[in-house]
Chain A
Amino acid sequence: DQQVKQNSPSLSVQEGRISILNCDYTNSMFDYFLWYKKYPAEGPTFLISISSIKDKNEDGRFTVFLNKSAKHLSLHIVPSQPGDSAVYFCAASEVFRAAGNKLTFGGGTRVLVKP
């Protein structure tokens, strides 16, 4: 039972355009959401997060949107750069409620930014 799903396994976008990555979740108890970027043979790096009390968080070229009623979040990257080519994972957690502050990850979306 996948509680966090990234339904698009891959995405191709032209340099300079917007990349939109989507993530859906089923557990209504999730209240904190994160996006990670991963290059091959490296550990994921934290990109941006959002608490369920917000619907938008922005950090430079990265913006995360949260729609709690739809149990959906998205990551926008504007403008996309060739260095953004990587696998992106969304993750969700129940802050304070779940022991150990565990994260549940989606399956990832591979992004390719074409020059």
Chain B
Amino acid sequence: SQTIHQWPATLVQPVGSPLSLECTVEGTSNPNLYWYRQAAGRGLQLLFYSVGIGQISSEVPQNLSASRPQDRQFILSSKKLLLSDSGFYLCAWGTQGLAGSNEQFFGPGTRLTVL
């Protein structure tokens, strides 16, 4: 069966510090990978998605970047965090080419607080 891992689970960082959040998927090959952010009391905002190694698409202009160095690894980064980067970050995976369906499956999330 497929599993998705995210770490760390929680993170408190000062403004201006760098960020690296990691997501890995097991039990599937060539997945689509996604990074979402949920701000307090809000819905899920898609930040980045990737359809393959080294292929990153950004959905919204922001202070963050993403990379996919391996097929089942997705990393969210920032060189200098802003207060507005605080939120709950979720990684998700989905299958490609599965006719007629489009489910995504989410990791446990990382709670980031920027002080």
Residues of B near A32 (CB, < 8 A) are 100-102
Tell whether A44 pairs with B90 under 8 Å between CB atoms, given A100-B32, A100-B49.
yes
Which residues 30-77 in A have Cβ within 8 Å of B in the complex?
32, 34, 36, 41-46, 49, 51
Of the listed stretches B14-22, B60-68, B72-80, B107-115, name the one at the interface; the rest are far from the partner chain. Answer: B107-115
Residues of B near A78 (CB, < 8 A) are none
Chain B: CB-nearest residue to A104: B46
Residues of B near A42 (CB, < 8 A) are 108-109
Q: Closest Cβ of chain A: how far from B60's Cβ, in Å?
A: 12
Which residues 94-114 in A have Cβ within 8 Å of B in the complex?
95, 99-108
Interface size on B, residues (CB 8 A): 29
Residues of A near B90 (CB, < 8 A) are 43-44
Does A89 belong to the interface (CB within 8 Å)? yes
Indicate if the CB atoms of B101 and A100 lie closer than 8 Å.
Answer: no
Indicate if the CB atoms of A41 and B88 lie closer than 8 Å.
Answer: yes
Chain B interface, >50% SS class:
strand
- What is the CA–CA distance of A107 and B40 in the complex, to the nearest angstrom? 11
Does B29 belong to the interface (CB within 8 Å)? no
- What is the CA–CA distance of A93 and B101 in the complex, to the nearest angstrom? 10
Indicate if the CB atoms of B103 and A107 lie closer than 8 Å.
Answer: no
From A45, A49, A95, A102, contact of B106 by CB (8 A): A45
From A95, A102, A103, A104, contact of B100 by CB (8 A): A95
- What is the CA–CA distance of A32 and B96 in the complex, to the nearest angstrom? 15
Indicate if the CB atoms of A46 and B105 lie closer than 8 Å.
Answer: yes
Indicate if the CB atoms of A99 and B57 lie closer than 8 Å.
Answer: yes
Does B94 belong to the interface (CB within 8 Å)? yes
Interface centre among B42, B59, B103, B107 (most CB of A within 10 A): B103
Chain A: CB-nearest residue to B44: A105
Q: Closest Cβ of chain B: how far from A44's Cβ, in Å?
A: 5
Residues of A within 8 A of B (CB): 32, 34, 36, 41-46, 49, 51, 89, 93, 95, 99-108
